[in-house]
Amino acid sequence: MTRQDSLLCVPEKNSLVREKILESGDLVLSWPQEYRPFFLRVRRFLRKSAQKSFLRKIQLDLLGKDVWDLIDGKKNIRTIVKEFAQHHQVNPREAEISVTLFMKSLGEKGLIVIREA
């Protein structure tokens, strides 16, 4: 996939992600995460609860929150980058690098999925 093709992809939020806005304006995202088999065995050995998942959280600052809010399942990454650059008055290339790296991080954590246009 070329760079241009990847910018045409559309990110969608995971429906299991819950959002909470803090007084500071930061956004806390939380989602269920399953324990890996090794850690399940350790938990059983230590006689901890047999719970198979736990709640993960990540806190986004105002810039991360702005990108998160732009993800609506309809806009492609190119549009999100353009809107982010205009809103924060940054160089479009810098915005592209920052936003795409942030999207990659969200995707690796399972907070978003990216589908081809």
Going from N- to C-terminal start, the domains of the chain cover 3-115
Instruction: Name residue 9's amino acid.
Output: C
Tokens of 61: 């600052």
> Residue 43 has what pLDDT?
76
Q: 47 in the Ramachandran plot: left (φ > 0), alpha (ψ -120 to 50) or beta? A: left
Residues 6 or more apart whose CB falls under 8 angstroms from that of 45 comprise: none
pLDDT, tens digit (0-9, with 9 covering 90-100), for 34-81: 888 888 788 777 877 667 788 999 999 999 999 999 999 999 999 999
Q: Evaluate if residue 90 carries a pLDDT over 70.
A: yes
Percent of the chain with pLDDT over 70: 97
Percent of the chain with pLDDT over 90: 79
What kind of architecture, by CATH, is found in domain 3-115?
Alpha-Beta Complex (3.90)
